[in-house]
Chains A and B, each alone.
Chain A
Amino acid sequence: EAGVTQFPSHSVIEKGQTVTLRCDPISGHDNLYWYRRVMGKEIKFLLHFVKESKQDESGMPNNRFLAERTGGTYSTLKVQPAELEDSGVYFCASSRTPPTQYFGPGTRLTVL
Chain B
Amino acid sequence: AQSVTQPDIHITVSEGASLELRCNYSYGATPYLFWYVQSPGQGLQLLLKYFSGDTLVQGIKGFEAEFKRSQSSFNLRKPSVHWSDAAEYFCAVVPLSGSARQLTFGSGTQLTVLP
- A residues near B (Cβ < 8 Å) are 4, 6, 31, 33, 35, 42-45, 48, 55-56, 59, 91, 93, 95, 98-106
- B11 contacts across to A, CB distance below 8 A: none
Q: At the interface with chain A, which of B14-22, B73-81, B105-113?
A: B105-113
- Interface contact B101-A48, CB-CB below 8 Å: yes
- A45 contacts across to B, CB distance below 8 A: 102-104
- A59 contacts across to B, CB distance below 8 A: 102
- B residues near A (Cβ < 8 Å) are 32, 34, 36, 42-46, 49, 90, 92, 94, 99-108
A-B contact pairs, 30 of them (CB 8 A): A31-B101, A33-B103, A35-B102, A35-B103, A42-B108, A43-B90, A43-B92, A43-B108, A45-B102, A45-B103, A45-B104, A48-B102, A55-B101, A56-B99, A56-B101, A59-B102, A91-B43, A95-B101, A98-B94, A98-B101, A99-B101, A101-B46, A101-B103, A102-B46, A103-B36, A103-B43, A103-B44, A103-B45, A105-B43, A106-B44
- Interface contact A106-B106, CB-CB below 8 Å: no
Given A42-B108, A100-B34, A105-B42, 6 additional A-B pairs, CB 8 A: A35-B103, A42-B107, A43-B90, A45-B104, A55-B101, A56-B99
Q: Considering residues A42, A43, A56, A99, which has the most beta carbons from chain B within 10 angstroms of its beta carbon?
A: A99
- Interface contact B43-A56, CB-CB below 8 Å: no
Query: Which among B43, B49, B106 is the interface contact of A42 at CB below 8 angstroms?
Result: B106
Q: Shortest distance in angstroms between A34's beta carbon and chain B's nearest beta carbon? A: 10
Closest 3 CB pairs of A and B: A99-B94, A105-B43, A103-B44
- Interface contact B105-A42, CB-CB below 8 Å: yes
